[in-house]
A and B are shown apart, each in its own frame.
Chain A
Amino acid sequence: MPERRILPDRGDAAPDIDLPRVRGGRWKLSDQRGRPVLLVFHRHLA
């Protein structure tokens, strides 16, 4: 039986993010503790 991947959902801890910014520097989700965060995942940027 194929393994069923469990996706992070409402109520779960958000997977951490540590990525470069387009305009320089890095951005970490863990640095944002204490304030809400909206993540907007783009599809292609046509």
Chain B
Amino acid sequence: MDFWKNREKMAWVWGTLAGFLLLGIGAVQNDFSVIWKKAVMICMECIGIG
């Protein structure tokens, strides 16, 4: 029972670690330059023109 309680308590740690792992995979597949390229141009769709 304690094992499950502790597991739930630690869920945020596993979530954060999984997040950093996913960020690393994202960096390898160039996700951040895709985001940057989109974010430095005026997004015509976002402002209701495109």
Pair from one complex: no
The residues of B with any CB-CB pair to A shorter than 8 Å are none
